[in-house]
């Protein structure tokens, strides 16, 4: 990410702003917050084309033992529901599923890196992702 300010999160309804390195800007809003097992965020473009064009991300963590937790991420893709079904059947396995799997991999590796080394993740430390690069056509 180019910039990220989540310091203003105080609970449900809190919002912040972040910018990917391709200069695409997004707004995150905390939908649910539970200190025991995670939070749910809605993420939408700062300049939203359609009201339903947003993504809901569930960050869930579960304590397994004193020094062990399970961390999962679930992404709900509301922003693609207007794609015609025949086209969706083709695009889903070729573009969307691989793209989001790669995104989640980068996300989890970033968390792991931060938790084990206690340092910020460098740009493209875990590889490139075409959706978030400045010089590519990006899906939104």
Chain segment 41-53, per-residue pLDDT in tens: 888 888 866 555 6
d(CA 78, CA 80): 6
What is the total residue count of the chain? 140
For residue 84, tell me if it sits in a domain: yes
Give the pLDDT band of residue 12 (cuts 50, 70, 90).
very high
For residue 140, tell me if it sits in a domain: no
For residue 60, tell me if it sits in a domain: yes
For residue 114, tell me if it sits in a domain: yes
Cβ partners under 8 Å of residue 46, min gap 6: 17, 25, 26, 27
Rounded mean pLDDT of the chain?
80
Q: What is the pTM of this model?
A: 0.64
For residue 98, tell me if it sits in a domain: yes
What domain count does the chain have?
A: 1
Chain segment 68-124, per-residue pLDDT in tens: 888 888 888 766 777 888 998 898 899 888 988 888 888 888 888 888 998 887 877
pLDDT higher than 60, residue 135: no
Quote the percentage of the chain above a pLDDT of 90: 6
Q: What is the mean pLDDT of residues 7-34?
A: 85
Structural domain of residue 33, as residue ranges?
A: 3-132
How much is the pLDDT for 37? 81
d(CA 58, CA 47): 23
How much is the pLDDT for 138? 44
For residue 120, tell me if it sits in a domain: yes
For residue 139, tell me if it sits in a domain: no
For residue 127, tell me if it sits in a domain: yes
Q: What is the mean pLDDT of residues 31-43?
A: 86
SS3 131: helix
């Amino acid at each position: 990410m180019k910039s990220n300010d989540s310091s203003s999160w105080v609970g449900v309804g809190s919002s912040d702003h972040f910018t990917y390195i391709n200069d695409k800007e997004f707004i995150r809003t905390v939908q649910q917050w539970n200190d025991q097992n995670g939070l749910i965020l809605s993420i939408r473009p700062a300049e939203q084309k359609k009201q339903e064009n947003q993504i809901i991300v569930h960050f869930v963590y579960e304590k397994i033992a004193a020094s062990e937790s399970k961390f999962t991420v679930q992404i709900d893709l509301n922003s693609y529901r207007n794609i015609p079904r025949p086209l969706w059947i083709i695009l889903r396995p070729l573009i969307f599923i691989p793209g989001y799997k790669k995104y989640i991999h980068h996300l989890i590796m970033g968390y792991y890196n931060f938790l084990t080394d206690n340092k910020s993740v460098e740009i493209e430390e875990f590889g490139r992702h075409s959706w978030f690069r400045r010089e590519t056509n990006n899906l939104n």
